[in-house]
Amino acid sequence: MARPGSGVLVGGAGGYGGQGVARVVVWEWLNEHGRWRPYGAATCHHIENVLKEDPRGTVLLGQVEPQLVPYVIDLQSMHQFRQDTGTMRPVQRNFYEPSSAPGKGVVWEWESDSGAWTPYDMELSVSIQHAYEKQHPWLDLTSLGFPYLLDFTAMQQTNRQSQRRRRLRRRMDLAYPLLAGAIPKSQSWPVGAGAKGGAGGGPCSCTQCILVNSTRAASNAILASQRRGAGKGAAAGTVRQSNTFGGTTATTWSAGTTVAVGNLSNNMSGAGGRGGGGKGESLGAAGAGFGCSQAHAHTHTHTQSHTHTHALTINGQNNLNRPGTQRIAVTTNRGAIPPGVPALPVKNLTGSGPVHPALAGMTGILMCAAGLPVCLTRAPKPILHPPPINKSDLKPVPGVNGIRRKTKKKHLRRGKNPEDVVRRYTEKIKAAPDEDCTICMERLVTSSGYEGLLSHKGIKPELVGKLGKCGHLYHLLCLVAMYNNGNKDGSLQCPTCKAIYGEKTGTQPPGKMEYHVIPHSLPGYTEVKTIRIVYDIPAGIQTLEHPNPGKKFSARGFPRHCYLPDNDKGRKVLKLLIMAWDRRLIFAIGTSSTTGEVDTVVWNEIHHKTEFGSNLTGHGYPDLKYLDNVQAELSAQGVSDDNLKE
């Protein structure tokens, strides 16, 4: 059906209106491409319910959506944590008009190559729904940074650059939660204990609080005088002002921002703003928390066993209460710090970092009060993925056949007779030495400890054999018992020196391994491109070779992306990893060391680099020893250069 009227060019999402009216709440997480992606309506209702009960609590997303079981939101730090991989992403609480798409339960989606439907970012959905309700025949998203033209008549999305078309659809779902009344005024987040630190909610009398209160007035006076003398040409972009929901003006930072505190006045357009007065002074301002990082709180204990928490924030507004039309463009590059300004890196959520947040905050306040410039920085976040890549840019790895390997059920088992395997790799010893068998811990001159427990034709309990390569001695019956407790794949591994006899295979469940070259470089290997490996294993049912046959196993965090430099050594490691994959040695089913989850797919002692552009977690680059170390790990699994030559 043709839609009347003319098309429209989007100028921005109208997601936020005035104060004192109802708002629709949408929770969002920041993906690796810098886009805020909305959670589903049911998940947002769940988060809001937890928030009402405990503003500093933890939200288990799997309680609402089973596919989100690995994910947890920490409301205090406003981060989403993935338990199986350790990945952390910022989250935010956004607000829209009740008459907008989320308020009506309208979801706009586009169809991916796999046929799955993917929702648009919420601000785009609001704009799309607005144009649809106005009966515009088309909508141009170019002004929002997307080269797409939406045709509401054909319900298609067209890429203006490639002219590729995708299907578009509008569906109805649960409406997002509605927050009635005025949105809460700005406050420190997490909520501090100032209201309960002393009698009647008065200020604490500890040494730290007295020191802070004594420097606060001096700090405010310096900042106020600097603001009055600031010129109109002050630098903008690092910090900007926005309205808080209480009607006052506040200066806001986002997580990961570097702030030059000493030059704060140079980054502000004025103290009055639309809120007026001095309420906008967020650092050391009356009624605002002091410190360095909105994601941390410092706790200290008095000698009288009195414990309390200082809220640490440089935000004038609650990080939860950020309207959709007031997204903050901030500078995260350390190059934005003026020359000569000392940097105090604050601990991140995992506790790594040279300076404790409280110490950094106190130092910053004192230096600022003295008129000295200082900046407080948040610990950098890991860069897990490369920039977006077109399929046409993916190239085969030179010297490696194909781009994909699959493990199917018909490849999984190769039964071998235990006696034949033991005889193949050992030779009998007529006169056994008087030493222990390290399997049963009985003397070799006596019978095996498995006598009476295990019997095999042709292998008597007193027979002793020597392994061919390493020469270690064992009871033959003990070797049979060890083989029966293993994968029964026709190979033996010496329990003393770990030498492998035959071709060792694992119990990795069926899946897919892909590998290709991408046009980006790893840190430390800037002269070459990068080999990307993608592992994908679906959940399934355990078989007889697994810990709990017949029981379901989970597969968290797939597909998993890993990286190697595209040089001779990196290609060699790739070939060895392909061989390890074919032998089912990369993964196993067991208990996750990260989450403690049982019956799940875990790494099998062959380390991979899953961090693309940094090495903050230890799983990235630069790491000059990694390629040698992983070859040693592969060799311990029986995968080495000799296998490649064969």
Encode pLDDT of 157-171 as tens digits: 998 888 889 999 999
Q: How far is CA 52 from the centre of its chain?
A: 26
Last residue of a domain, one of 495, 522, 539: 495
Ordered strands of the 165-172 beta sheet: 8-9, 138-140, 148-151, 156-159, 165-172, 106-111, 117-119
* pLDDT computed for residue 57 by the predictor: 86
What is the rounded CA–CA span in Å between residue 609 and residue 547? 27
| 555 and 451 in a common domain | no
Q: What percent of the chain has pLDDT over 70?
A: 64
* pLDDT computed for residue 31 by the predictor: 85
| 175 and 38 in a common domain | yes
The answer as to whether 270 is a domain residue is no
List the structure tokens of 27: 């929770």
Is 300 or 534 the better-scoring residue by pLDDT?
A: 534
| 639 and 519 in a common domain | yes
| 465 and 542 in a common domain | no
Most confident of 70-79, 186-195, 238-247, 283-292: 70-79
617: domain CATH number is 3.30.390.130
Most confident of 108-117, 297-306, 529-538: 529-538
* pLDDT computed for residue 534 by the predictor: 95
| 615 and 517 in a common domain | yes
* pLDDT computed for residue 622 by the predictor: 92
Band of pLDDT at residue 610, cut at 50, 70 and 90: very high
Band of pLDDT at residue 277, cut at 50, 70 and 90: very low
What is the rounded CA–CA span in Å between residue 23 and residue 103? 8
The answer as to whether 530 is a domain residue is yes
Q: How far apart are the first and last CA of the chain?
A: 66
The answer as to whether 101 is a domain residue is yes
- Which residues pair with residue 465 across a beta bridge? 428, 474
Most confident of 41-50, 225-234, 381-390: 41-50
81-90, 450-459, 466-475: least confidently modelled range? 450-459
Is 127 or 13 the better-scoring residue by pLDDT?
A: 127
Q: How many CA atoms lie within 13 A of 226 on its CB side?
A: 22
What is the rounded CA–CA span in Å between residue 314 and residue 285? 10
* pLDDT computed for residue 587 by the predictor: 95
Mean of the per-residue pLDDT values for the chain? 74
* pLDDT computed for residue 116 by the predictor: 85
Of 639, 388, 371, whose CA–CA distance to 502 is shortest?
639
Band of pLDDT at residue 528, cut at 50, 70 and 90: very high
Q: What percent of the chain has pLDDT over 90?
A: 34
Last residue of a domain, one of 441, 466, 495: 495
146-155, 344-353, 510-519, 579-588: least confidently modelled range? 344-353
The answer as to whether 529 is a domain residue is yes
Encode pLDDT of 17-33 as tens digits: 444 578 899 999 998 77
Encode pLDDT of 430-441 as tens digits: 888 989 998 898
What is the domain range of residue 174? 23-110+119-130+170-179
Average pLDDT over residues 514-542: 95
What is the rounded CA–CA span in Å between residue 245 and residue 460? 84
451: domain CATH number is 3.30.40.10
Encode pLDDT of 286-309 as tens digits: 333 333 333 333 444 443 434 444
The answer as to whether 269 is a domain residue is no
The answer as to whether 273 is a domain residue is no
The answer as to whether 63 is a domain residue is yes
| 538 and 488 in a common domain | no
| 461 and 531 in a common domain | no
Last residue of a domain, one of 495, 519, 550: 495
| 530 and 470 in a common domain | no
| 613 and 538 in a common domain | yes
Residue tagged 């886009």 (tokens): 35
The answer as to whether 368 is a domain residue is no
Domain count of the chain? 3
Give the pTM: 0.46
Cis before 98 (ω within 30): no
| 521 and 491 in a common domain | no
CB contact at 8 A, 157 and 117: no
How many other CB atoms sit within 10 Å of the CB of residue 630? 20
Residue 626 confidence (pLDDT) above 70: yes
Helix 207-229 / helix 357-369 crossing angle, nearest 10 deg: 50
Average pLDDT over residues 234-251: 37
Encode pLDDT of 200-222 as tens digits: 444 454 444 444 444 444 445 55
DSSP secondary-structure letter at 568? H
| 520 and 458 in a common domain | no
100: domain CATH number is 3.30.720.50
| 627 and 528 in a common domain | yes
Residue 38 confidence (pLDDT) above 80: yes
Side chain identity, residue 557: G
Average pLDDT over residues 235-240: 40
